[in-house]
Amino acid sequence: MAAPGGEGGDAAGAEKMTEVSQRVGPAAGPVPASTLPAGEGGVELERVLRTLVETKAWDLSRPLPTTREIGQRFGISNATVCRLLIRLSAEGLIWRRSNGRYFLNESRRVFENEPYACLLRRLKNWSRVYQGVMGGFSQAFARDRASMLFVHNDTLVRHADTAHPPVHADAAEQRAALAEFCRGYEGRYRGVLLDEVWRDDVLREFLSQLGAAVITCRPTTVAGLSSVSADFGVGALLAVGHLFARGYEEIWLAVPFANSATVDVQTRETLAAAAMLGKPIAARNVVSVATPVERERFVARLVATRARVGVFCLEDNMSVLLREALQQAGLACPVRVGLLSGMGTDLVTERRISTLRIDYEKIGETAGEILASGKVRTVRIAPELVVGGSS
């Protein structure tokens, strides 16, 4: 789910998808309210707007002034202006874009071919996860007859060595990147697809500028931001329940890396599922396996314990590395130690490692449908348990 160790693990495959940046015309800001005929009150404002519609005396590529500016021009409150614009929009006289700006209704044809902006990690750092997400997203935008604008950020994810954890951009770096995007692409896209590594605290600051947006592969705490992710609660119950059903006396949770909202959610849901099933996971058995040294210590503990242990590793690349380490230590899998992975890409299924299988293509397709609808939605897609030879 998180795109950790596997982030850079399949760069060659990712390059099969062409990196495209569509050039679009310069962004057009709103015309100043001073260009509107002077007047007083909501009735006069409505008359002016209806006249603009009838005479088409407005640049279709430019939005109406902000509600604050209009209110000041006509001596009325923002709320009064908003109510009038909403009513005229319902009548089909004006049009509200997904970014919240109002245009004359005929402006729709000017923007109908605008692309969806994809704010993602560099193409070479696309894992199997993002190949699936973007495969599904491309299906949705093809049905909507839209194009995609890839805006890749070199610092969003840095992952030179898959044996070690990735480095994600910090809050300051993300703020700078989003500020640059908003300056350069304002009004030039119809919605935004967000990489899961964007931080909620940063997105909350920029959401009003981004407009319609959806984050993939994890839930979000940001009001007004859509999300599509696996149902981590269902997945945790499947994983923990399966391992206990196989007779493992203890469950150990292998955490692939820190400072990830996705991993944090997975960890919380797994601990909650184990407690719900009456088999709580001890704090000492929630263990980082992010580096070779940590994995070596983890396996040494497994060798030393007498209990049969079921290991739930949250990320596929780390699951492959753990499987190799278990074999080298002579720990019979699944007899002595069971291993279950948390993502279900072909990285583990081809090796017959038991796993939760997440439909990343469905996540991407659903994200595209949400952006096309213009609605704010939270969607969780239940994963499937696929039992291999490791549990």
Q: SS3 for 282?
A: coil
pLDDT for residue 148: 81
Q: Which fold has domain 232-358?
A: Rossmann fold (3.40.50)
Under a CB-based contact definition with an 8 Å cutoff, are residues 92 and 105 in contact?
A: yes
Q: How many of the other CB atoms lie within 10 Å of CB of 123?
A: 16
**What pLDDT does residue 109 have?**
61
The dihedrals phi and psi of 344, each to the nearest 5 degrees, come to: 90, 25
Q: What is the predicted pLDDT for the residue at 27? A: 42
Cα 261 to Cα 264: distance, rounded to the nearest angstrom: 5
**H helix intervals, the chain:** 11-14, 41-55, 67-74, 78-90, 108-111, 128-143, 171-185, 200-210, 232-245, 261-276, 292-304, 316-328, 346-349, 360-373
Q: Which residues does the chain have with pLDDT short of 50?
A: 1-27
User: What's residue 14's pLDDT?
Assistant: 31
Each residue's pLDDT tens digit, 236-288: 999 999 999 999 999 999 999 988 999 999 999 999 999 999 999 999 999 99
Q: What is the crossing angle of helices 232-245 and 261-276, to 10°?
A: 50
Domains 33-110 and 232-358 share a fold: no
Predicted local confidence at residue 15, as pLDDT: 29
DSSP 86-144: HHHHHTTSEEE-TTS-EEEGGGHHHHTTPPEEEEEE-GGG--HHHHHHHHHHHHHHHHT
Identify the CATH number of the domain defined by range 5-25+111-230+361-383.
Answer: 3.40.50.2300
First to last CA, the chain: 20
CATH assignment of 33-110, among 1.10.10.10, 3.60.20.10, 3.30.70.270, 3.40.630.30: 1.10.10.10
Residues in Cβ contact with 321 at an 8 Å cutoff, skipping those fewer than 6 apart: 5, 163, 289, 295
Phi, psi of 192 (to 5 degrees): -130, 130
**What's residue 39's pLDDT?**
81
The sign of the torsion formed by the CA atoms of 381, 202, 10, 371 equals positive
User: pLDDT value at position 62?
Assistant: 77
Residue-wise pLDDT tens digits, 52-107: 888 877 776 678 888 888 888 899 998 898 899 889 888 888 888 766 778 777 66
pLDDT reported for residue 66 = 84
Domain ranges, ordered by start, for the chain? 5-25+111-230+361-383, 33-110, 232-358
> Tokens 């279709």 — which residue?
60
